[in-house]
């Protein structure tokens, strides 16, 4: 489990983005969007950049950090 501060989230947003995926702030939530045509019928689906995708919403925890799964470690190496 990754535990990120606001600066860590900014680094992640910068390194994660590409043409098929994007991450961005939504107030204090981190949104991770990945292009996927099944987003049209998915409950987490989101239409962005003229295509459907699936969005993952990471909320801030009570200690002021964001907890991410280990699958995102590769964006910090």
Residue 72 lies in a domain: no
Residue 71 lies in a domain: no
Closest CA to 39 of 25, 24, 20: 20
Give the chain's domain count.
1
Residue 75 lies in a domain: no
pLDDT in tens, 27-67: 999 999 999 999 999 999 999 989 999 999 999 999 999 99
Residue 76 lies in a domain: no
* Structural domain boundaries enclosing 42: 2-64
Closest CA to 34 of 62, 60, 71, 5: 71
* Global confidence as pTM: 0.88
Say what the pLDDT of residue 56 is: 96
What are the Cα distances from residue 77, in Å, to 8, 12, 74? 12, 11, 6
| Residues 22, 43 contacting (CB under 8 angstroms) | no
């Amino acid at each position: 489990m990754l535990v990120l501060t606001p600066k860590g989230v900014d680094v992640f947003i910068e390194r994660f983005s590409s043409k098929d995926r994007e991450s961005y702030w939504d107030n204090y939530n981190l949104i991770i969007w990945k292009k996927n045509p099944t987003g049209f019928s998915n409950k987490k689906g989101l239409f962005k950049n003229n295509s459907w995708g699936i969005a993952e919403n990471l909320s801030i925890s009570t200690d002021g950090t964001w907890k991410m799964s280990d699958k995102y470690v590769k964006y910090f190496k």
